[in-house]
Amino acid sequence: DGGITQSPKYLFRKEGQNVTLSCEQNLNHDAMYWYRQDPGQGLRLIYYSQIVNDFQKGDIAEGYSVSREKKESFPLTVTSAQKNPTAFYLCASSQNRVYGYTFGSGTRLTVV
């Protein structure tokens, strides 16, 4: 079954630590995206990648980093520079804009 998998579902991080969120897709989609959802804020774009070995900053990239070494994988690192990292993080992939995005089930990150 084709899909997009995010892991872990829940993640706890101590202040000052970096943490990496995993996103894997087997849909053969070229484009992948990371969004952050906060209450009342909707979905805000962190980073996106249209092709392997290339990625672009979204609206709220500060304090985050990504890599795209493989078509299937687009991990997101939340660094200690991110001031308010507690949020629900969503990964998505897309083949073309007509079909929209396929989303993963999300990772809830909590800083303790």
Partner 1 sequence: DQQVKQNSPSLSVQEGRISILNCDYTNSMFDYFLWYKKYPAEGPTFLISISSIKDKNEDGRFTVFLNKSAKHLSLHIVPSQPGDSAVYFCAASARYGGSQGNLIFGKGTKLSVKP
Residues of the shown chain interacting with partner 1 in the complex, contacts defined by CB under 8 A: 4, 6, 33, 35, 40-43, 45, 48, 50, 56, 88, 90, 92, 96-98, 100-106, 108
Output the CA angle 111-53-103, nearest 5 degrees.
50
Nearer to partner 1, 35 or 64 (CB): 35
What's the min distance (Å) between Cβ of 95 and partner 1?
A: 11
What's the min distance (Å) between Cβ of 7 and partner 1?
A: 13
Contact 79, 61 (CB under 8 A): no
